[in-house]
Amino acid sequence: MTTSMAIHAGRVVLYAEEQGTGPVVVLVHAGVADHRMWDAQMPWLAETHRTIRYDARGFGHSPHVAGPLSYTDDLIALMDTLGVPRATLVGCSFGGGTVLHAAVTHPERVERLVLVGAGVSGFQAASPLDPLFDQIEEAYTAHDYESVLDLEEKAWVVGLRRDASSVPAEVRALAREMNRTKFAYEDTPVEYLDGRESDVDALSALEIPVLVVVGDQDCADVRETADFLMRTLPRATGAVINDAAHLPSLERPAEFNRILADWLRTTGRH
């Protein structure tokens, strides 16, 4: 089923898709993507799970709404609207930070977590950021969105240590197309609420299975964050996907699906 659904008393409309029946899995995309980054996971997961993916506010088909914005609150409200009391949450990058914060603030709603190249509110990696990220900020400030797309492709899709030829042209093209959608909503004034509180101190008490996935070609600070999650979360399982950057589910779908399938099977309801 594909639909757009109103949440927060109809103030916000999110585009969502769902397939399948069974235990619920919700897929939350990265900040340089939209729901399509899960194209290789959606039909496969739907064979055994009720699988939901959606565009977060300000991405894809989900417009921004002026005023306060919590991606975590949107996720919980979407689950309420769809009648989902509890789910396995899969999040990549900023989506990983969103689902992790959901587990910290709404533990009764989260059965398991999959964190892919995820950020952690309150954790500051020691690894220095590459100067490329200063260029990205400058391009944003100048509203030079074509340069933003070029630079973010290098940072997140290709990886700082690889050449573009290492990534299939169709993967780079889809990633660029997805990333471009956010610029349509740049002029809407929003007040971001997520990230104001640290999740770091709550991690050691998070007693649910967590799969931590990272590409070996991802940025140093993202790989350091994955190591921190592995050390801190009580029930964490780690996986490194070789020759993949920040979007391993898109770049290496067969390997990602194999890892996810094994973990879902071993951590499922008995």
Per-block mean pLDDT, blocks of 10 residues, the chain (270 long): 88 96 97 97 96 97 96 97 98 97 97 97 92 95 96 96 94 97 93 91 96 97 98 98 97 98 84
- Confirm whether 142 is domain-assigned: no
- Confirm whether 20 is domain-assigned: yes
pLDDT in tens, 228-257: 999 999 999 999 999 999 999 999 999 999
- Confirm whether 111 is domain-assigned: yes
- Domain range for 11 is 2-126+185-267
- Can you tell me the distance from the alpha carbon of 53 to that of 145, in angstroms, rounded to the nearest whole number? 26
- Confirm whether 242 is domain-assigned: yes
In this structure, what CATH number is given to the domain that contains residue 216? 3.40.50.1820
How many domains is the chain built from? 1
- Confirm whether 162 is domain-assigned: no
- Can you tell me the distance from the alpha carbon of 36 to that of 55, in angstroms, rounded to the nearest whole number? 9
pLDDT in tens, 55-69: 999 999 999 999 999
Burial state string for 247-266 with b = 16 or more CB within 10 A and e = fewer than 16: bbbbbbbebbeebbeebbee
